[in-house]
Amino acid sequence: MAINIKNREAERLLRELSSRTGKGKSQLFLELLRREVKRQVRLADVEKRRRRIEVLARRCARRLGKTAPSPEEIIGYGRDGLPR
């Protein structure tokens, strides 16, 4: 299947990239598409990991309950910044 680009800016950018790299337009187009597909897959993976982290954070927050220790108590320092 052939692709017919009817956007002047896209044609100009593809010609410029081709002249700068010495690669053919078809090769450049294929490389750009592959790169974008990989980027989209990575973005989806990041979103999936973010949702998992949120689930874990909520689970940990429930375990701590309402009387969660302060950050100072967690690391072992008092409010004055000195070790306990």
For the chain, the structural domain boundaries read 8-64
Phi, psi of 30 (to 5 degrees): -65, -45
- Averaged confidence pLDDT in the chain: 88
Q: Is the pLDDT of residue 82 over 90?
A: no
Q: What angle do CA 72, 74, 77 make, to 5 degrees?
A: 40
User: pLDDT digit string (tens) for 27-38?
Assistant: 999 999 999 999
Q: Is the pLDDT of residue 1 over 70?
A: no
pTM (predicted TM-score): 0.55
Residue 71 corresponds to which amino acid? P
Name, in order, each residue with C-beta under 8 angstroms of 24's C-beta and a sequence gap of 6 or more. Answer: 18
